[in-house]
A and B are shown apart, each in its own frame.
Chain A
Amino acid sequence: MPQAEHATGPAGTPGRRTLSAAEAARMDAVRRYDILDTPPDGAFDRVAAMAARLFKVPVASVTIVDEDRIWFKAAHGLEGVSEISREPGLCGSAILADETLVIPDTLTDPVAVNNGLVTGPMGVRFYAAAPIITGDGHRLGTVNILDTQPRLITKDDTATLADLAAIVLDEMEMRLAALNALRTEQERRIEQEEARQRADQDKNAIQAFASTLQRTLLPPALPVVPGLELACHYATASPQNVGGDFYDVFPLGGKRWAFFLGDVCGKGPEAAALTSLTRYTLRAAALIDPDPDVVLTSLNTALLLDPAIGTRFCTAVFGVLEPHEREGFTVTVATGGHPPAYHLRASGSVEAVQPKGGMLIGALAGAHFASLTIHLGPGEGLLLYTDGLTEARTLGGDMIGEEGLTRFLAARTGPVSAAEVIEDTVDLIDAMPHGAGDDVALLALSVPLADAADGLTATATAHSIAPAGETSESRP
């Protein structure tokens, strides 16, 4: 039977500040199990109770030896004690060796005799402890039994005590495994949550980027043109998809103004890039030579020369406004494969402004364009649109078509107001079961009647941008 061996370990001396490498490694192992100062646990309590019953001793405990204290994970017969100081003699000595420490009579043991538990009110006379040894050889604490009477135990008894210590270690291993699984699960959940948040942020950033880009493809607002009322409407079929419809009104210097509206084939970022190129080319070309025919020819050449454009092309109406010597405006319009603008009069007359022979822009080298000049008098208007309007489908599944649009416009009589034309046309689209189903851009110009113009301090400018399918309420 192994007798007391009191090796004086470096950590056994209270008050030591620096730990030996071995004790530091042991403490790392203790911390790994994260068991110090945890609440009582039935499994450990049962081991202590079982030890007390098996050996018929009044006190049995499961201890973990901390750096400077002995902490009781379970204490049978030691009510209210949670820890004691780490002094040599009993547990403090038991964790210094792999073998079970047995002290049959503490009064005859030179070290234990000075231990507080021996000299104190408990008057411990018998002590036996099996170290709890981890797989990698660290002794975390003990399963121990105490009695107030000296006694002897058999070799089998010491083996039983060692088995109980092994059971405690198994319990601690299971607890650690569960703890680790829980931590992994928590980390995984946090990671998932973080990934989800990142994805949301990315999505928002991309959408913000797309809508910012889209805004740069549109004039922020139509300019105020003296003697002219302007209104427009722009809606994309989906908020995510940057549209290929475009329009603009800008000054040419003097009292002349230019306007255009068009449609780039296709959708998405490539179409948006072409839209951008088209708008700036039209603006730049018009400043060099505002002849609408020449402007569209320049755009055709520019699109065909740009290798980044690929096989994309566009259609557009381009016009120049010049105040007429008497009243209203002289309007010169060229079309490039685009549906004609409509010249609206108070009588309800709707006339297509369609120069003969305007071809698609950017599809063919040597495409030719033609222009036409009209007079836009007081009470008259001009409506430009993209085919999202005429291709909107009615309840019966037919498209509104140019015939339907002409009929609709002819039903409106009285002096033409650009804002009202846009408002009514948007109502027409909204009345369709599925809205437009495609991007729609509308631009209207009208010359107020002389008396109405006198009453205006500034020419009305209406502007609405809305996703298709939603009622546009943003018109001032």
Chain B
Amino acid sequence: MTDFSLTAQHTEGDLALAHVAGELDIATAPRLRAQALALIEQGHRHLILDLGAVTFCDSSGFNALVGIFRCAKTVNGTLVLAAVPDRLERMLDLTGLSAVLPAHPTAAHALVAHTRSQDTTPA
């Protein structure tokens, strides 16, 4: 009924960049969660979610993001968001998650930031 898609575009090593498009609601949130968790399970413990094409996000979508974040954390990974819709950004602020979930204006910014953080991380 509601449109939703998750396309993993840039997947090398332990990093995955996934473009999320459509509506994040009670119908699609479980798919977002399942597909993102599958990427983490495949070894991409650092996940960048590009939300630029997300047209709608309610608390179900938000809950899915929290679930993904906590899953990444259990394998010492990270969840980074890019192009966060206004409403979701307010929810992240409201819940204090903006402090632990880095958000970047675009996926490119997020990739650059990730590369830098990898460079500074001791091998």
Cβ–Cβ contact A339 & B58, under 8 A = no
Q: In chain B, residues 76-98, which have Cβ atoms closer than 8 Å to a Cβ of chain A? A: 87, 90, 94-97
B94 touches A337 (CB 8 A): yes
Contact, CB under 8 Å: B59 / A359: no
Complex: how many Å from CA A399 to CA B95? 19
Residue pairs across A and B with CB atoms within 8 Å: the count is 40
Query: B63 — which chain A residues lie within 8 A by C-beta?
Result: 265-266
With a CB–CB cut-off of 8 A, which chain B residues contact A401? 87
Interface status of B100 (Cβ within 8 A of chain A): yes
When chains A and B are docked, how far (Å) is the Cα of A367 from the Cα of B96? 8
Cross-chain contact B58 with A359 (CB below 8 angstroms): no
Q: What is the 8 Å Cβ interface bit string for chain A, positions 309-339, against chain B (1 contact, 0 not)? A: 0010101000000000000000000000111
The CA of A337 and the CA of B58, in the complex, are separated in Å by 14
The answer to whether B95 and A357 have CB atoms under 8 Å apart is no
Chain A: CB-nearest residue to B99: A359
Flag whether B22 is at the interface (Cβ < 8 A). no
A313→B66 contact, CB < 8 A: yes
Give the total of A residues in contact with B, Cβ under 8 Å: 23
For residue B43, CB closer than 8 A to chain A, the reply is no
Q: Is there contact, CB below 8 Å, between B66 and A360? A: yes
B67 at the interface (CB under 8 A from A): yes
Please tell me if the beta carbons of A360 and B95 are within 8 angstroms of each other in the complex.
Answer: yes
CB distance from B17 to the nearest CB of A (A): 24
Which residues of chain B from 20 to 34 have a CB within 8 Å of any chain A CB?
26
**Chain B residues in 8 Å Cβ range of A357:** 96
**B interface residues, how many (CB within 8 angstroms):** 16
B109: Cβ under 8 A from any A Cβ: no
Within the complex, which residue of B58, B66, B96, B100 is in contact with A391, where a contact is CB–CB below 8 Å?
B58
Q: In the bound complex, how far is the Cα of B70 from the Cα of A313, in angstroms?
A: 11
Which residues from B are CB-within-8-Å of A311? 67, 70-71
B97 touches A391 (CB 8 A): no
Complex-state Cα separation, A438 to B26, whole angstroms: 10
B91-123: contact bitstring with A at CB < 8 Å (1 yes, 0 no)? Answer: 000111101100000000000000000000000
In the assembled complex, the Cα of A363 lies from the Cα of B99 at a distance in Å of 13
Across-interface contacts of B94 in A (CB, < 8 A): 337-339
Judge whether B95 and A337 touch: CB under 8 Å. yes
Complexed CA–CA distance, A399 and B97 (Å): 22
Instruction: Tell me if A368 counts as interface (CB < 8 A to partner B).
Output: yes
**Given A265-B63, A364-B100, are A315 and B95 also a contact pair (CB < 8 Å)?**
yes
B32 to chain A, nearest CB (A): 14
Q: Complex formed: what's the CA distance from A475 to B113 in Å?
A: 55
A474 to B96, CA, bound (A): 37
CB contact between B97 and one of A263, A266, A360, A368 (< 8 Å): that residue? A360
Asked whether, in the complex, the Cβ of A368 is within 8 Å of the Cβ of B96, the reply is yes
- Shortest CB distance B91–A (Å): 9
A368 to B26, CA, bound (A): 28
Known contacts A358-B96, A359-B97, A391 near B59 by CB under 8 Å: yes
Min distance, Cβ B66 to any Cβ of chain A, angstroms: 6
Nearest-CB residue, chain A, relative to B64: A265
A364 to B90, CA, bound (A): 19
Contact of A363 among B26, B66, B71 (CB under 8 A): B66
Give CA–CA (A367, B100) in the complex, Å.
10
Q: A359 near B95 (CB under 8 angstroms)?
A: yes
Inter-chain CA distance A391–B70, complex, in Å, is: 25
Tell me the nearest residue of chain B to A398, going by C-beta.
B56
State the Cβ distance, B101 to closest chain A Cβ, in Å.
10
Identity of the chain B residue whose Cβ is nearest the Cβ of A335 in the assembled complex: B94
Interchain nearest-CB distance for A358 vs B (Å)? 6
Interface centre among A358, A359, A368 (most CB of B within 10 A): A359
For residue A165, give the distance in angstroms from its CB to the closest CB of chain B: 73
Q: B70 to chain A: which residues have CB within 8 Å?
A: 311, 363
A-B contact pairs, 11 of them (CB 8 A): A311-B67, A311-B70, A337-B94, A358-B96, A359-B95, A359-B97, A360-B95, A360-B96, A363-B66, A387-B59, A399-B58
User: What are the nearest 9 A-B pairs in CB distance?
Assistant: A359-B96, A337-B95, A265-B63, A360-B95, A391-B58, A387-B59, A311-B70, A363-B66, A311-B67
Residue ranges of A at the interface with B (Cβ–Cβ < 8 Å): 263, 265-266, 311, 313, 315, 337-339, 357-360, 363-364, 367-368, 387, 391, 399, 401-402, 438
Given A360-B96, A364-B100, A367-B96, 19 additional A-B pairs, CB 8 A:
A263-B59, A265-B63, A311-B67, A311-B70, A315-B95, A337-B94, A337-B95, A337-B96, A337-B97, A339-B94, A359-B95, A359-B96, A359-B99, A360-B66, A363-B70, A363-B97, A368-B96, A401-B87, A402-B90
